[in-house]
Structure formats: C-alpha cells, structure tokens
Structure 1
Amino acid sequence: MFSAATYTERRRQLASALPSGLIFLPGNGEAPMNYTDNVYPFRQDSNFRYFAGHNLPDLALTIDAGTGASRLWGNDISLDHVVWMGEQPSVADLAADCGAERGGTLDELSALLKKHATEVHFLPPYRADRKLYLAEHLGAAAGASEALVRAVIAQRSVKSSAELDEMELAVTTSLRMHAAAEAHAAPGQLEAEVAGLIEGIAISAGGRLSYPAIVTRNGHVLHNHYHGNVLRPGDLLLIDAGAETPSGYAGDLTRTFAVGKPMTEQQREIYDLVHATRIASIAALRPGITYRAVHDAAGRQIAAGLKDLGLMQGDPAEAAAAGAHALFMPHGLGHMIGLDVHDIEDLGEDLVGYDENHRRSTQFGTRSLRLGKELREGYVLTVEPGIYFIPALIDRWRAEGTCAAFINFAALEAYRDFGGIRLEDNVAITEQGHRVLGA
C-alpha cells in the first residue's frame, strides 16, 4: 500500500469531480473453485484498491461527494475465523491505514444503500454476485454512473511517480521471468515446464502473474493458453507474460526466441522486422500524438518490410490503408496498463482508449486497437507489434480475394508452419517524450 495521505488525496480528487451523492465502491469477495472453502487466489477489485489500498475480501468504500467523507465498511472476523486464519486487523485499523473513517457492518451498509438508493453512484459491475447485490439494494433498473465512470478513468489513466516506481518493479520481475525462460527452455520439454518456471518467479517476488501466461510454440494463435506441446529444436517459443507486484501493478511483456538453436534466416528476417517496428513505434511516443497514428505507422513499416521479403506487393502506404497488413498483424499496437493489465477497461474499452475526437476504426485489425486517442504525460501503455502466419486466415483471404493486390499468396506457402513473433515493452509517456520501463 501507499501512504494513507495518498488514498485520502485520491478520494478527495474523485469526490470533487461529482457535484453530490454517495460514491459506492464495493470490494470483491472470495470466489469458490468447487466448494465454499476452496477458493481461487484472491484479487481485489482494482477500483476499490486504487481508492482504499487493501487487497482483502468483503470490504466496501463509500465517499460522500458533497463533503468528501470516506468510510470503510466490513465485518470484523469471529473467533472461529481466527482459528483458521490467525489474527486479522480490525476494520477500524484497515480504515486508518487508508485514511478513511470506520463505517459500519455490511448489514448496516445495506440499510444505508437502500435508504439512499437514488443518490448512489457506482461503476459497471463485472461479477454476477455484484450485479445481484446492486439490483437488490439499488433497484433492478439502477444503472452505473457515467459521471463516476469518466472521473475514475481520467484519474486512473495518469500515473503518479509512486505508481511508476511500482510499475518499474513489475516490469523488472517480468524481465527476470523472460530471461529465465529463455535460459531454461530446451527441446523435449513441455511448454508447461517453462510456464511453471515463470509463474514461480512471479510468486517468489511477492505477487502473482498479472494475467494467465501465453507460453506457446504456436505463436500465431494470439491468446493461446494451452501448454501441452513438446518443444522441438528450432521452434519459435512466444511468451507473453507479466508479473503483478504485491501492490497490484502489472507488467506485460512479450518475447519470442528459437529453442535450442539459432534462428533460421527466415525466422531472423521476420524477427528483425518486428524488432525494428517496435523500436520505431517507441521512438514516436510523446504527449499529443495519437496512438492511432503510431499504430498506423507500424502497419506501414510492416507492409514495407514484408514487401522487401516478397510477401507483400504494391505501395506499402496504400496496402496499410487498405488493411492488408492485418493479415499478418490482426491486433492493435497496444493498450493502457496499470493496476489492470488492460487498465480500467472494465469501465468501457472505448471510454478508456477513445474520446469524442478519436473514434474506433471498423477495419479488420485496426478495430482491435484498444487505445487510439492522444497520449498524455503519465499514461503507461504497451507497444507490441507482431507478425503471424495464420493458415486459416490466409486461406480465407486467398479464397475471397481479400487485398489480393497487396498480398503474394504464393510466397506465403513457405511460411505456412512459421507460427508467429511478437515483441512487447511497457512505456511511460513523459513531459518530453517517453521512458521504457525496466532495464
């Protein structure tokens, strides 16, 4: 946790953004795996954690938008729970730790919410039990507060120096994970052995993985969480994995390397193109530039590089404008990152990544860009270009003649079993430009 003064100031800033009403930020409870007492590893709601700090279940925070008064609500544990869990801090102690007043029990909070239901501001729920709770206490027709959503997004998007320090820790641990994976991976191993190694490093650093790791020899499957393949000599192993710090901040890095032997010339050519695109994209980052512009430039660079390799043809700028490069990179260049690996997107992806002046594209590939608006000092984002050879997508485009003027489909036959390469870093936007996090 940060200091109590940090959370007090965050809540003061949030309260000042709304004219009146009661801001209600419920925390998560435990989630059973298969019976009540066998639960998944606990992860507190990020919005609650941002304003209250604690990573403990069954707590709630209220903020009076008019007065700024904050109260932490929860039940002190019973002696029976002490037997199983040991001594735990009281709710009064937890409230003091984050600079809030002690509210009442959760039953008392329920009564308060029902009494002031029409005056309560809350964020969109993403868990079924939260939806049921809100319907019961605030009415079936109750809707999330747009004013609160926009205020939280604006506040959480800009990272403080203390938050950046935490994100440096997250990326430092993430880099250790990737370095260990590259040193350890060898032909004959299961992908699962590498996945287990990197998760152990994340846990040993006091946190956990910030999202389920992608560790795969089939890098062309973008979100491949299967770890059952045996690694073969020369396989490209794509690892997309990040650590979460004890304070909850996320790292999100991707590296790709060949297992057990140097890359082939074919692999190295594609790798070098992805690497050059990553370097150029990072170099372009600064306040005021739109991330859509950086994404588009990356598309042109990939199209030009693939033309040099004989895989694309025609004018690279025209090819990228037509979306032809998306056959090889069907995702966006990056997204915001912070307490969430896709930061604040539970409040609405378009509200986080776009605004009134910058709208999401409908074009295949570019429509998957999660961040398109102007960058500001204090934003932290991922830069993750990739090139993939996806047989099913290639076959569909060839059969339908999609972007046929720009794609050399005959040359792609030699890459049918290539897989994919992605390289990803986390970058903070500074007053003058940018700073890559980690070593």
Structure 2
Amino acid sequence: MFSTQTYTDRRQRLAQFLGSGLILLPGNGEAAMNYRGNTYPFKQDSNFRYFAGHNQPDLVLTIDAATGESRLHGDDLTLDDVVWMGEHPSTAELAERIGACSGTLEELSRLLKSAKNVHYLPPYRAERHRHIEEWLGEGTTPSKALIRAVVELRSVKSAEEIAEMEKAVRTSLSMHAAARKTATPGMTEAEVAGLIEGIAIAGGGRLSYPAIVTRNGHILHNHYHGNTLEEGDLLLIDAGAETSSGYAGDLTRTFAVGRDMTERQQTVYDIVDDAKRRVIEAIRPGIPYRELHDLSARIIVDGLKDIGLMRGDTDEAVATGAHALFYPHGLGHLIGLDVHDMEDLGEDLVGYDDEITRSPLFGTRNLRLGRRLREGFVITVEPGIYFIPTLIDRWRADKRHTEFINFAAVDAYRNFGGIRLEDDVVVTGGGARVLGNRE
C-alpha cells in the first residue's frame, strides 16, 4: 500500500470531479472454484484498490462527493473465522490506514437505500450485479460521470505507481530470462509455464494474467501448454508479474528452442524488433497512439515487401487493412493495476474519445488504445507478425488484397508460427522510457 495521504488525495480529487451524490466503490468477494470453501486466488477490484488500497475481500468504499467524507464498510471476523484464518485487522483499523471512517455492511445497506443519487461503475461479476440490485433496486444504471472521472484519474500514473510497475517489469524480465535459459527440446510448454509462474510468486505477487507459453505463436491468446518443444521451435512467451500492491507487468519475448534462429526466423524477428524500436523512439505526449499503430504497420509492410510476401504502395496497404493478414491485433494498451488498464469501464471509453474513434477495419479495430498520449501514461508496445493458416486460406479464397499480398510466396511460411515482442513504456515529457532498464 501507499501512504494514507495518497488514498486521501485520490478520493478528494474523485469527489471534486463529481461534486454531488454518493460514490459507491465495492471491493470484490471471494469466488468459489467448485464449492464455497475452495476459492480462486483472490483478485481485488482495481478501482476499489486504487481509492482504498486494501486487498481484503468483502469491503465497500463510499465517498460523499459533496463533502469528500469517505467510509469503509465491512464486517469484522467472527471467532470461527479467526480459528481458520488467523487474526486480521478490524474494519475500523483498515479505515484508519486510508484516512476514512468505518461502518458495517448493514449500515451500508441503509445508507444506500436512503441515498438520492448513487454513482457506481459497470459491474463485471454476477455477484456485483446482485448486490447493486439489492442495494439500489432494479433499473439503475452505471454513472457515466464516475466512469469519466475514474478514467481521468487512473490514466496518468504517479511516480510511486511507476516505481511499482518497475518492480513488476523487473520480475517479468527475470521470468523471461529464466525461460530462455531453461527451455530445451523435450520439455513441455507446461514445464516452462510452471517455471515462470514460480518466479512471479517468489517475487511477492502472482502472474498478472494467465501466461501464454506456446510453440504455436500464431494463436494470439493461446493458453494451451500441452505441447512438447522441439529443436528450432519458435517459443512465444507473453507473461507478466504482478507486485504485491497489484501493479502489472506485461512482456512478450520470442526465441528459438535449443539453437539460434534460422535465417528466415531471424529476418522476421528483425522486422518485428525494428517496428517496436522505432515506435518507442516516436512516442511523445500529444501523439495519437492510432498513428503509432499505423507506423508499426507500415514498418511491418515494408519488411514483408523486402522478403517478397507483400507488394504495392505501403501507405495504401495499411489504409485498406492488407497488413492485418500478418498483424491482426493492435499495437498496445494502457497498463497499470489491470494488465489492460480499466477495460472493465468500457474499452472505447478508456482508449478512445470524441476526437479519435475505433477503426472498423479487421485487425486495426483490435487496437485498444487510439487516443493521444499524455505524460504519465504507461503503455505496452507489442507489434507482431503471424502466419495463421486458416486466415491465409480464407483470404486467398476470397481474393482479398491480392494487389498487396503475394499468396504464392506466403505458402512457404504456413508452418512458421508467430513472433511478438512487447515492452512496457512510460510516456515522459520528452518522449518515452522503457520500464525495466535491461533485457
């Protein structure tokens, strides 16, 4: 946790944004895995954690937007709870740590039933839906004003937040370095995945999202770990650690198992690496991230033209979406307490605005962040090149973008897989800085 003043200041700023009404920020409860007493690893609601700090379940924060008064609601442990779980601070003690008053959940229910104007965020768990209906009745809707205020406050990271993210990235780098050193022919993907998860836990947190550890890197979100590695396989690992304070790292590396890359593998790798490096060099406050995504796409198209897989005018190829056969996702996203920061509030509300809206084009429409960058944003930069047999076959059959794609030459890469490279970058006053400061 940060200092009491940090949480007090955050809540005061939030109250000032709203001006009136009661702000309701519930924390998460435990989620049963297969019966009530066997739960998934606890994950706190990130908005609650941003304003209240605590990582315990079954707490609720309210803020009077008119006065700024904050109250942390929860029920203290029973004697049976203490027997099974040990001593825990009381709700009053937890509230004091963040500069708030305290109350019970029964008092919360009465407060909400009497409140005239309650601001709450979109619920993403069924339990949260049920609680809101119980507290406020059916027919209420999330507060757009609260969503806008939270996005504004959480988007720009403070120095203490960036320091926590440095910790997450350093642990993430250790995970990737260990995987590269250890992965050998005959191992399974699961063995590598287990190694990196252990390093995340040893670092004081957990994985910040389910790890992608795959010899089939052309499957973008591949969480299957059952394959056995063979010499020369491209192993794509997309994995990050979370600190004890909840801040996330998100890195991707791709390497050949058991030997150096072939000339063909290295050539494609170098195109992706060049795109990542040149985009990071181009980052600065005020530039739309959509422009940087298009820059990465042009670099990839030029590289693929050099090896005979694409042709024609680069700008036109990107404008029509021809590059998306090989690069069907966005360049990156905001990262913070969530690996895809605040996307529970609505991806377009976080990543876009009235000036810059989402593209309808295949591939580019998957760009999660398009709006102008600001100093203090922490973002991922993750270009990639993939050879997806089903997509290749579909586009060839439909004769899509034949003026830009040399489908005959692409055939030789059908079993290539995919390469993605990803760093976490903070936008500074004069450009950008890659977190972690080492490979």
TM range (shorter): over 0.9
Query: Residue 119 of structure 1: CA displacement?
Result: 1.1
Q: Determine whether 1:392 maps to 2:359.
A: no
What SS is found at the alignment partner of 1:42?
Answer: coil
Counterpart Cα distance in 1 of 2:293 and 2:16: 35
Counterpart Cα distance in 2 of 1:393 and 1:230: 25
Counterpart residue identity of residue 79, structure 2: L
Query: Residue 183 of structure 1: CA displacement?
Result: 0.3
Partner of 1:240: 238
Counterpart Cα distance in 2 of 1:8 and 1:198: 36
Counterpart residue identity of residue 80, structure 1: D
**TM-score of the two chains, using structure 1 as the length reference:** 0.99
Query: Residue 317 of structure 1: CA displacement?
Result: 1.4
Counterpart Cα distance in 1 of 2:355 and 2:137: 35
Query: Residue 67 of structure 1: CA displacement?
Result: 0.2
What SS is found at the alignment partner of 1:360?
Answer: coil
Aligned residue among 289, 306, 325 for 2:287: 289
Query: Residue 315 of structure 1: CA displacement?
Result: 1.3
What SS is found at the alignment partner of 2:286?
Answer: coil
- CA offset digits 1:371-392 (Å, max 9, x no partner): 0010000100000000000000
Partner of 2:266: 268
Query: Residue 257 of structure 1: CA displacement?
Result: 0.1
What pairs with 1:210-225 in structure 2 (closer than 5 Å)? 210-225=208-223
Counterpart Cα distance in 1 of 2:260 and 2:147: 49
- CA offset digits 1:144-164 (Å, max 9, x no partner): 000000000000000000000
Counterpart Cα distance in 2 of 1:131 and 1:73: 18
Partner of 1:325: 323
Partner of 2:98: 98
Counterpart residue identity of residue 352, structure 1: V
Query: Residue 299 of structure 1: CA displacement?
Result: 0.7
Q: Determine whether 1:29 maps to 2:29.
A: yes
Partner of 1:403: 401
Counterpart Cα distance in 1 of 2:213 and 2:308: 30
Counterpart Cα distance in 1 of 2:430 and 2:236: 33
What SS is found at the alignment partner of 2:225?
Answer: coil
What pairs with 1:115-154 in structure 2 (closer than 5 Å)? 115-116=114-115, 118-154=116-152
What SS is found at the alignment partner of 1:182?
Answer: helix
Counterpart Cα distance in 2 of 1:133 and 1:54: 20
What pairs with 1:310-389 in structure 2 (closer than 5 Å)? 310-389=308-387
- CA offset digits 1:47-102 (Å, max 9, x no partner): 00000000000000000000000000000101111101111111111001111111
Partner of 1:418: 416
What SS is found at the alignment partner of 1:382?
Answer: strand
Counterpart Cα distance in 1 of 2:111 and 2:290: 45
TM-align CA RMSD: 0.6
Counterpart residue identity of residue 84, structure 2: W
- CA offset digits 1:136-187 (Å, max 9, x no partner): 2112110000000000000000000000000000000000000000000000
Partner of 1:48: 48
Counterpart Cα distance in 2 of 1:383 and 1:419: 20
Partner of 1:191: 189
What SS is found at the alignment partner of 2:128?
Answer: helix
**TM-score of the two chains, using structure 2 as the length reference:** 0.99
Counterpart residue identity of residue 61, structure 2: L
Partner of 1:433: 431
Counterpart Cα distance in 2 of 1:19 and 1:438: 39
Aligned residue among 231, 256, 259 for 1:258: 256
Query: Residue 110 of structure 1: CA displacement?
Result: 1.0
Query: Residue 318 of structure 1: CA displacement?
Result: 1.3
Counterpart residue identity of residue 56, structure 1: Q
Partner of 2:227: 229
Q: Determine whether 1:107 maps to 2:106.
A: yes
The count of residues paired between Structure 1 and Structure 2 equals: 437
Counterpart residue identity of residue 170, structure 2: T
Counterpart Cα distance in 1 of 2:57 and 2:400: 51
**Unaligned residue ranges in structure 1 (runs of 5+):** none
Query: Residue 306 of structure 1: CA displacement?
Result: 0.2
Query: Residue 209 of structure 1: CA displacement?
Result: 0.3
